[in-house]
Amino acid sequence: MAANKRSGEELVDEFMDTLEHPLKDAIVVVRRLILKVNENITEHIKWNAPSFCVNNEDRITFNLQGKGFFRLVFHTGAKAKQNTDIKPLIEDPTGLLEWVATDRAIIKLMNLNDVELKKNDLVKVVAKWVEVTG
């Protein structure tokens, strides 16, 4: 690797070191949870936030723009896929996902306590999303 080319993980570490967000502690926990779900998950910065990839395709991206909350956006990459299904891409028995399209969903997290309460379900949803979209 060239000396001036930093890895996605290094860029995300740098981003997180300088992140000023009232829910940074919860964001750090969610980042660690997602990275532990599957060894094929990598990360980089997209939309001015950490984004998680499988096979270099974005799959889950933080949205840190909210006031008093943050979101995880579950998607199928930068380019819209031809999805003719009328039902959501995965089944979500946890009820965490808010579907905005059949191939795009959002999880809204309010604080560290909310993350702790939902972490087991969050891990299940991330694992299923990576399995289906990876």
Give the domain ranges of the chain: 8-80+100-133
Residue 90 corresponds to which tokens in the numbers above?
A: 């995965």
The widest CA-to-CA distance across the chain, in whole angstroms, is 48
Q: What is the spatial distance between Cα 2 and Cα 65, in angstroms, rounded to a whole number?
A: 33
Chain segment 32-68, per-residue pLDDT in tens? 999 999 999 999 999 899 999 999 999 999 999 988 9
pLDDT band at 7 (very low <50, low <70, confident <90, very high): confident
Residue 12's contacts (CB-CB under 8 Å, 6 or more residues apart) are 31, 43, 44, 45, 50
**Domain 8-80+100-133 of CATH type 3.90.1150:** yes
Res 85 pLDDT > 80: no
pTM of the model: 0.89
Q: For 87, list phi and psi in degrees, rounded to 5.
A: -110, 160
β-strand pairing of 98-101 with 70-74: unpaired
State residue 2's pLDDT score.
46
